[in-house]
Amino acid sequence: GQSLEQPSEVTAVEGAIVQINCTYQTSGFYGLSWYQQHDGGAPTFLSYNALDGLEETGRFSSFLSRSDSYGYLLLQELQMKDSASYFCAVRPYNAGNNRKLIWGLGTSLAVNP
């Protein structure tokens, strides 16, 4: 089967760095995406890794290692507004023409003062 695993909750303080891991069991996929969702809001796209390595976008970076079946989202200089849920998602090769994403259950990040 195909599944993504993330920690359910992470807590950090303002200004700190936090890493949210995503491990997966899937035969192959096009890339790893990360989405952010604030309470009651819509998920919004953060980053996409098609290749192994680090992608940096401002305070957020995302990493993928296909050989280790592992990826992570790194949030630096944490701010209170970063308190949200973070989801990783992949599109399996065997999805064919459809663009269905396999989603993790999400990590709830709480940033404390």
Query: 74 is written with which tokens?
Result: 């790194």
Smallest separation (angstroms) from other proteins to the CB of 85: 9
What order of strands is seen across the sheet that includes strand 3-5?
3-5, 18-25, 70-75, 60-65, 53-57
Task: Please report how close the Cβ of residue 3 comes to other proteins at its closest, in angstroms.
Answer: 11
Question: Would you count residue 99 as binding other proteins (CB under 8 A)?
Answer: yes
Q: Is 41 in the site for other proteins (CB under 8 A)?
A: yes
The correct pick among 50, 54, 80, 110 for binding other proteins (CB under 8 A) is 50
The C-alpha atoms of residue 83 and residue 75 are separated, in whole angstroms, by 11
Tell me if 91 contacts other proteins by CB under 8 A: yes
